[in-house]
Amino acid sequence: MLIAQLCIRQDLELLTADRDFDAIAAQSVLRVWEG
């Protein structure tokens, strides 16, 4: 049970990390286009 919770938690952290990266990439692309 504990192992499953740890796996789920890691997946959630990876998902949020990917989402943060996508947001940062989108902002960078916007800056390049505006610049």
Specify burial of residue 9 (Cβ count, 10 A radius: 0-12, 13-18, 19+): exposed
Report the pLDDT value the prediction gives residue 8, as an integer from 0 to 100: 85
User: What are the tens digits of pLDDT across the range 1-35?
Assistant: 788 888 888 888 888 888 888 888 888 888 888 77
CA distance 35 to 23: 18
Report the pLDDT value the prediction gives residue 23, as an integer from 0 to 100: 86
Report the pLDDT value the prediction gives residue 4, as an integer from 0 to 100: 85
**Alpha carbon distances (Å) from 34 to 7, 23, 27:** 40, 16, 10
Phi, psi of 8 (to 5 degrees): -65, -40
CA distance 26 to 20: 10
Report the pLDDT value the prediction gives residue 24, as an integer from 0 to 100: 86
